[in-house]
Amino acid sequence: MTNMKYIPLLLLVLSLKILAGEAPNISALSLEVPIWANGLNNAKWLFSDGKEDSKKIGFFNLSARKANMPKEAITQREDDIGRTSRSLPLYLAERINVETDCSATNYIFVVQGAGPVLSGEEWGFESLKDIAIKNDLAIVVFGHYEKDYLDLRSTLKVEAGM
């Protein structure tokens, strides 16, 4: 577990790498069970057996845009739009794992050593295709979330492909 006092230092290091023109190392973190199950010593016993041969569904964190977001890559504090971009796919994957015979995996893009990535540009299926093929996903679920300048209106677009 990361010690909270080191978070500002990690954000500073990432900011300096971006300013120096270095591309941050981004990878996809995969969660095969709901996030709370890891606290129960990876409680896979709570979920139905025999999902090895079932359809695999991949849920990707949403891309998101706020009206006043900068176009360049920056580090910033956690906010509602960032949390929503990760929590909605986590919830949908959990419901699939708990209530169906399908196997859902949640993929969250993270900058190693810093934290989750929030893309202001919409994901396209082509950008996720390599991960889908590599992990033998039958269905890929991704989307885009937008908020207007005054946070009065939110728009959510969810797509599925394969």
pLDDT top residue among 83 and 155: 83
- Per residue in 31-72, pLDDT (tens digit) is 887 777 777 776 666 766 666 778 889 999 888 887 777 666
Range of the domain at 107: 4-161
- Average predicted confidence (pLDDT) for the chain: 75
pLDDT score at 147:
78
Question: Which pLDDT tens digit goes with each residue over 110-119?
Answer: 888 778 888 8
Average pLDDT of span 112-138: 83
pLDDT in the model for residue 72 = 63
Please tell me the total count of domains within the chain: 1
The model's pTM is 0.74
Rg (CA), the chain: 17
